[in-house]
Amino acid sequence: MTARVLVVDDILANVRLLEAKLSAEYFDVVTAMNGADALDSIQRTKPDIVLLDVMMPGIDGVEVCRQIKNNAQTHHIPVVMVTALDQPEDRIKGLEAGADDFLTKPVNDLALFCRVKSLVRLKMLTDELRARSPNGETVTLMSRREDAAARPGKILVIDNRAAASERTRAALVPHHEVTVIDDPLTAVMHAAETRYELIIINLDMDNIDGLRLCSQLKSLERTRQTPILIVVAPDDHQRLLRALDMGVNDYLIRPIDKQELLARANTQIRRCRYTDQLRSHVQATMELAVTDPLTGLYNRRYMENQTAALVEHAINRGKALALLALDVDHFKMVNDENGHPVGDRVLQELASRLKQSIRNIDMICRIGGEEFVIVLPNTDAEVATKIADRMRRGISGKPFDVGAKNGPLTVTVSIGVAAIESQSDTLEAILKRADEALYSAKRGGRNRVNSTAA
């Protein structure tokens, strides 16, 4: 794994030492000697992570970190505070300043590379989600103060050592909802059924392979994205490295400081919520690309892409498939007499009735204006005609109460039916026949169904 690392320290020897260590691991290193230069360098070089000394003249590390996290352009960049102070209170002060992690001087190589690689991995995921989301720039990472005022996090603690699990639970429970489970199999099943924002695992449980448990959670779809924080012994370097390689997000060395445990839990929960927001925006964007915003039905683009594949699949396997081309009768008159808002509500009610009249395997698309296409897999022309007539009667038989001037409207539709006719058939040909049948229904007086097979 490689990434661009910004090293910030006012002592040149410290900068050169970190630069040499990181360069040896093939990281691209840029440097700054004070807070002002660091903020300028972030804008110019777009680093993937910042290693930031706390004690600097002028703008100190705490203020630099605060400015990074308050800027919508840079708040997602991980910040690791580096300082000579090693008291627990100082570690917490660094984390509470908005930093994502904390290292003490002299920096341990294992801790340095573990923290950097873990945060860079998370940064890459965040970058990918932000790139896919048009709102990526506006989805911001909540500050710790905002997060504390928000809902408590849901944390699962997996530990079969009663005394240790109780200490963990006691440190977290005033601020978060904590579930403790001592059996790994039960814990995995529970985590797959319940949405947790953090899982804490003691690697030194009795008669249990904690690494295998981490691997199981990272391999399951429901828990793959859930942050995992492990608790390890001070000299357990080999298992710590393996855990981080498989995607574990953070770690704590025993004995655990309660404040540091809470601060690291808060960091992971906050980032979990941020990535969840980004995923939601990405999903919404994908849905907008294939969905008609007025009716919630699929749009023309989706219909053309998906239906072509369905037609090809049906022909290759000798299956039936039919299309219904549906058009609202005299829709322009509805708009002219009642206004476009009423017309929109007519289309929304129509979409609702159509969805209630189809099977799960069928597909409805609004392809423009008052025009719709319904795709009916495994359905021949005769059955499709009966389905279409049932739809027609369901629409015309009950007035549309949509706020029209003169009360509920009687709405009718005309429907054309076409089906696969030969091995050489295509989507374009079937759609053309369905449209011709629709126009025939219109010419025949509307509120009727015509089929090319009739």
What are the tens digits of pLDDT across the range 179-205?
999 999 999 999 999 999 999 999 999
Q: Any catalytic annotation for residue 63?
A: no
Angle made by CA atoms 75, 79, 81, in degrees to the nearest 5: 145
Cis peptide bond prior to 377, omega within 30° of 0: no
* DSSP character string of 172-234: HTTTSEEEEE--HHHHHHHHHHS--SEEEEETT-TT--HHHHHHHHHHSTTTTTS-EEEEE-T
Q: Which residues of 165-180 are buried (b: 16+ CB within 10 A; e: fewer)?
A: bebbbebbeebbebbb
Distance CA 96, CA 105 (A): 19
Which SS3 state, helix, strand or coil, does residue 345 take?
Answer: helix
Angle made by CA atoms 78, 84, 87, in degrees to the nearest 5: 90
- pLDDT string in tens for the chain (454-residue length): 679 999 999 999 999 999 999 999 899 999 999 999 999 999 999 999 999 998 888 898 888 998 998 888 898 899 998 877 666 666 666 667 778 888 878 888 888 888 888 788 778 877 776 776 555 454 444 444 444 446 899 999 999 999 999 999 999 998 999 999 999 999 999 999 999 999 999 999 999 999 999 999 999 988 998 999 999 998 898 898 889 888 898 889 889 888 889 888 988 898 888 888 877 766 666 666 788 889 999 998 888 888 988 999 999 999 999 999 999 999 999 999 999 999 999 999 999 999 999 998 999 999 999 999 999 999 999 999 999 999 999 999 999 999 998 899 999 999 999 999 999 999 999 999 999 999 999 999 999 999 986 4
Phi, psi of 103 (to 5 degrees): -130, 145
Residue range 111-160, pLDDT digits in tens: 888 888 878 877 887 777 677 655 545 444 444 444 444 689 999 999 99
User: What pLDDT is stored for residue 291 in this prediction?
Assistant: 87
Residue ranges of domains in the chain, CATH in brackets: 1-132 (3.40.50.2300), 140-281 (3.40.50.2300), 300-451 (3.30.70.270)
Strand ordering across the sheet containing 198-202:
177-181, 154-158, 198-202, 228-232, 250-253
pTM of the model: 0.61
Distance CA 395, CA 399 (A): 8
Distance CA 82, CA 18 (A): 11
Query: Residue 86: CB partners within 8 Å, gap ≥ 6?
Result: 104
Q: Which residue has the tokens 């989301």?
A: 133
Name the catalytic one among 19, 260, 349, 370: 370
